[in-house]
Chain A
């Protein structure tokens, strides 16, 4: 196990260096003045420009610039936002809200996805299964902002069940609608994935043995079928985290949830390039760390993974 952890950690280093380098390269190796390009058609404050020039060490050769920037990231210095607040301070303020929203969405997507997928898979070819397959396909093809607007229109405006925007403290009851929206696409994917996995597992020999020796369905379904069907479902959750991050940006923006996503959303809308770059870097780092943790947990859960290179 120790060897596996070490190997995964070592593999993560080039990816980490590579991604930060790529983002830095995209922004600062462009012809012309990269800082001016970041502001688009706006004229930035000269004082801000000067500070950014120092912060990104633009007077140094490119590779030196990159390593200085990387050093800053390791010390928790992600730069400053357009308004002059340190990105790390904004993160400290907004991150708890996003975590709350994400956990709510993950619960909805896992409970819903696994239950609906299991039921569909066990009743393959029946009406419920067919409906679930078609509805989930429709949800997969809907862009998340369309789902958000339709949810806002139907549940917020027409039915009046939920608030269309989240109030300042982001209480849980206000987050339920945004969480459902955020969960919807992955929910649809999880339904299809669980269904396929359940159908495959249900046809395996050990399940037939279990039926053969007279075990009840109440024991076979959760213990034999469900447990063994969950492995691909758990793996999917890790790769799906990127979808969740992008989704959070749009969802938090539309429902005005005061989280990391909305901060990025507003920075994009206002064309505040440097803030966008800082927040995208942070999100990519979070994504990498989550993937690494899930990989490590996965090796813990399923011993077979550790020995496969």
Chain B
């Protein structure tokens, strides 16, 4: 025991003992690193990333500028004398039953599939983030209500639900209606993934720190929790874009999708099914275009998942 008086003279360590320079020493030359930079470094080393990125880019370019890829008009240049004809020099993939150029129809149908995919994805992401974020962050009765609502939408397989909606709206079949019909039942998977991630992120020290300094709950959600929970949503979003394209094709194939006048891969496949025996090219090539596009989006989703999730990386 010392005889020193108990009243402390310094509450803070004197500056000369721990110079600020030492506390704040940051090696500026060091490479920056966070989740996204790490993920990018991981992704760009993988051939699967480049393959899917090139296909996705190509699909986007084809959808925006179909005229660049084929001089043949998909509808007006049709000659019934060419019905179900095989490939010729100018028409490399042959002809449909109506005598239209298969390649040209595939090229011009790209934008339909892609727009449905994009609209559905925007819709499911917005709904999924709204429901998932509020349910996960605020918890309690709000979580119970939102999660049960999600359960209800989740327990109807979304293609069956879309079949009902499209049957009811049979007079208004267009790209927006079909996207709504798919998206309105497809969002709960996004919401569930986000909710689970938010429940995890909510426990972090930085959230507690923000609460301690009196940041409002809504601001914590927007500034800290949401940006840190968004990674798995991006994975689900990429994969669901592919799934939405499949859903549109399936609905069109069933005959409750887009009207026959709209050019879409699903409609072409549907129309070609009766000629499987004598003109397989009319069915195989649109199916191939559809499958390659969907594969590209799903591969991209897998690559992003592997890059963002160290556990998945270890399994490779």
Contact = CB atoms under 8 A, between A and B. Distances in A.
A138 B280 CA distance: 21
Contacts of A125: 316
B152 A142 contact: no
Nearest to A241: B157
Contacts of A196: 312, 315
Interface in B275-307: 276-277, 280, 283-284, 287, 290-291, 294-295, 297-299, 302
Contacts of A37: 168-171
A138 B246 CA distance: 13
Nearest to A27: B168
Contacts of A14: 148, 151-152
Contact of B170 (A40, A249, A280): A40
Contact of B255 (A140, A142, A269, A291): A269
Contacts of B167: 38, 40, 268, 271, 273, 276-277
Contact of B302 (A137, A268, A283): A137
Contacts of B92: none
The 4 closest A-B CB pairs, nearest first, are A18-B152, A242-B157, A40-B170, A141-B295
A141 B256 CA distance: 22
10 contacts: A143-B249, A143-B290, A144-B250, A145-B253, A153-B276, A199-B315, A242-B157, A249-B160, A276-B167, A280-B161
A280 B164 contact: yes
A276 B291 contact: no
A30 interface: yes
Contacts of B253: 143, 145, 250
A246 B168 contact: no
Task: Classify the secondary structure of A's interface with B.
Answer: helix
Given A146-B290, A268-B167, A280-B163, A141 B242 contact: yes
Contacts, number: 141
B164 A27 contact: yes
A138 B153 CA distance: 28
Contacts of B211: none
Contact of B298 (A23, A141, A268, A273): A141
User: Chain B, interface size: which category?
Assistant: 35 or more
Contacts of B60: none
B174 to A, nearest CB: 15
Given A15-B152, A152-B276, A268-B256, A145 B269 contact: yes
A22 B156 contact: yes
B189 to A, nearest CB: 10
A119 interface: no
B254 A143 contact: no
B262 interface: no
Contacts of A15: 148, 151-152, 155
Interface in A1-37: 14-15, 18-19, 22-23, 26-27, 30, 34, 37
A19 B150 CA distance: 11
A150 B253 CA distance: 15
